[in-house]
Structure 1
Amino acid sequence: MRLTPLPGEQWDDDVDAALAGMLPKRRRNPQGAGNALATLVRHPDLTKAFMPFNVHLLFRSTLSDRMREAAILRVAELSESPYELEHHRGMGQAAGMTLEEIEDARMGVALEPVEQLVLDAVGELDRHHAILDGTWASLTEHLTDRQMMDLVFTVGAYATLSMAFNTFGIEPDRELQPEYER
């Protein structure tokens, strides 16, 4: 690990505030937050700015949970992100995906045509930093403008998180899942 989770004795009100929109009070500690969030809070201002965006993508997106998780799993595979692969495997299952569907999504394959278009779009965003015209036209037959925007921002945000987690050396937390304080 290049950056380790912030030691417990350094957790203060700024750290707590940075995590308040994502985690309930009982999880705002080095063990409850998990490796990723406990590392991100080394920079509380950045974490506090990023968390509302991430909360939107995870809990308020116009994409279905399944579509979101398929896209994130593909991003994680393309980014070679062990943390995101492990974390979103569990979230994919919670969204109703089978283990086989999760592995297929990682590889860019889906049986359902719209989900396949989403995975194709992820690949195009990775390669070209844009969804190509044909894929865009096909997707907009099924998705609203807001869903299209949520898709692009989900892919971008999780590519960024994968890049950060890979660079920092953040190890997967097998037992933790996001838990938004509602």
Structure 2
Amino acid sequence: MPDPATAGILCPMRLPDLDPADLTDAQRALRARIIGGPRGSGTQHFPLTTPDGALTGPFQVMLHEPALGAPLQELGSAVRYATGLSDRVREIAILAVAAATDSAFEQWAHARIGRAAGLHDTELAALAEGRFTSDDAIEQTAYDFCRRLLQDTSHVDDEVYARLHTAIGTTTITELVVLVGYYRTLAQLLDVFDVGVPDEQH
């Protein structure tokens, strides 16, 4: 039931955009790592900054709390650029999280990255609707495992683990568990702070 004390009060912007000129030293250093790292050095499938220079999506959340944002962005960079996952498998897994968490920003951003990784429109639509299938056994196993992790009953028993180990191996299992946990964290941050797709990109 709504709190009578706050009824009718409009919620202000939960996290205002940070002007690059007003950043603390820690924030400035984090912004430089985000923009100057692998995310900013390759092809840009979605903008990291607004026209005014503020960071977009989860990166603006990270920038508000650099003590947590710095290690969080480093983990994200590792998930994106330092695993053995193929580009398609990585984006299939991320889009599975985006669909399960109803994360508009991650769906918007990673549909673009996924398309560049070779996912076609029919596959992207299936991922958004939670019904993806693939003739590639590794892709299908990875997707099914991520979907399992995203369910309330996500326990992996010995039988399930044995099948996963045979199909994709320990390293890929570890990478997918970390990926799902990381993108679930981003989705929750985006939801709590009401961060969506940049207005001009709707």
TM-score normalised according to structure 1 size = 0.83
Which structure shows the bigger proportion of residues in helix conformation?
1
What is the Cα-based RMSD across aligned positions, in Å?
2.6
Tell me the secondary structure at the aligned position of residue 160 of structure 1. Answer: helix
Shift in Å, 1:133: 4.5
Q: Mark the structure with the bigger radius of gyration.
A: 2
Kept after mapping to 2: 8 A contact 1:19/1:28: no
Paired position in structure 1 for 2:99: 77
Contact 1:5–1:42 (CA<8 Å) still a contact in 2?
A: no
Q: Report the more deviating stretch, 70-79 or 129-138.
A: 129-138
SS at match of 1:23: helix
Structure 1: state its 5+ residue gaps. 177-182
| The one of 149, 157, 163 aligned to 2:182 | 157
Give the length in aligned residue pairs. 176
Report whether the alignment pairs 1:115 with 2:127: no
SS class of match (2:56) = helix
Match status 1:49 vs 2:71: yes
Structure 2: stretches of 5+ with no match in the other structure: 1-12, 41-47
Task: Indicate the residue corresponding to 1:124 in structure 2.
Answer: 148
How high is the sequence identity, in percent, across the aligned residues? 25
Aligned pair partner of 1:98 in 88, 109, 120: 120
SS at match of 1:141: helix
By relative contact order (CA 8 Å, sep 6+), the higher-ranking structure is 1
**Residue 22 of structure 1: SS of its match in structure 2?**
helix
Is the 2:61–2:69 contact (alpha carbons within 8 Å) kept by the matching residues of 1?
no
Deviation at 1:36, TM superposition (A): 2.8
Any idea what SS the aligned residue of 2:34 has?
coil
Q: Once the 2 structures are TM-superposed, how far is the Cα of residue 174 of structure 1 from its aligned partner?
A: 8.5
Instruction: Quote the residue 2:108 is aligned against.
Output: 86
Instruction: State the partner residue of 2:58.
Output: 36
- Counterpart Cα distance in 1 of 2:159 and 2:121: 30
Q: Secondary structure at the match of 2:64?
A: coil
